[in-house]
């Protein structure tokens, strides 16, 4: 699949006719809501776990030297915590562009902290997209992140902002926090 997913996402019609849709964010969408929204609240989705396995050619890296950003990987019994935004369909043009580097819209149940659930969507970069980097050790991912930067800034900033946002929400993510620690160790050695 092509790395640019804008046209594919524009064909998704699951929410046609809806005045608003819940969007689940699990990476930079947690801390960088650069779009209008009607409501924002902590939420989670089941059956997925966050991993730094997606390449970023357009934000935290370049086509020649992609950075690493998060995507979701299916995992039975996993719960991924993040932030949900109630948005209007007009926001999709911006989001489809922002998430164009391999991410596809996927309809999914979103669970809120009060226990209620709503059908919404999430952007996920599946393993068959051209920007997918795949699994690596958390130490190797930290080394990769330490040496990557793109138009949106250093890849390390993305990692640090995500880890900080998760802590502010009171959520733990062993994968994210382990990479953050490895990055801190690298910086301490320099």
- Active-site annotation, residues: 99
- As given in the structure block, the two tokens for residue 76 are 């039975």
The DSSP 8-state label assigned to residue 69 in this structure reads E
Structure tokens at 14: 């699951």
> What is the rounded CA–CA span in Å between residue 103 and residue 55?
11
Whole-angstrom Cα distance, residue 12 to residue 105? 7
- DSSP lists the bridge partners of residue 125 as 103
Distances in whole angstroms, Cα of residue 16 to Cα of each of 12, 21, 89, 133: 8, 10, 8, 32
């Amino acid at each position: 699949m092509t790395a640019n997913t804008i046209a594919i996402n524009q064909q998704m019609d699951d929410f046609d006719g809806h005045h608003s849709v819940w969007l689940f964010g699990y990476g930079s969408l947690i801390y960088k809501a650069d779009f209008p929204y009607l409501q924002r609240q902590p939420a989670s989705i089941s059956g997925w776990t966050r991993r730094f396995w997606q390449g970023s050619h357009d934000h935290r890296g370049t086509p020649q030297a992609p950075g690493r950003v998060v995507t979701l990987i299916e995992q039975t019994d996993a719960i991924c915590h993040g932030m949900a935004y109630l948005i209007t369909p007009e926001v999709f043009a911006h989001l489809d562009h922002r998430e164009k580097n391999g991410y596809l819209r996927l309809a999914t149940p979103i669970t809120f902290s009060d226990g209620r659930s709503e059908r919404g969507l999430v952007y996920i970069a599946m393993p068959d997209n051209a920007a997918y980097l795949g699994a690596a050790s958390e130490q190797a991912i930290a080394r990769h992140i330490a040496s990557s930067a793109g138009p949106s800034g250093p890849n390390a900033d993305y990692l640090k902002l995500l880890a900080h946002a998760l802590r502010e929400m009171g959520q733990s993510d062993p994968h994210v926090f382990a990479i953050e620690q490895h990055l801190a160790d690298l910086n301490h050695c320099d």
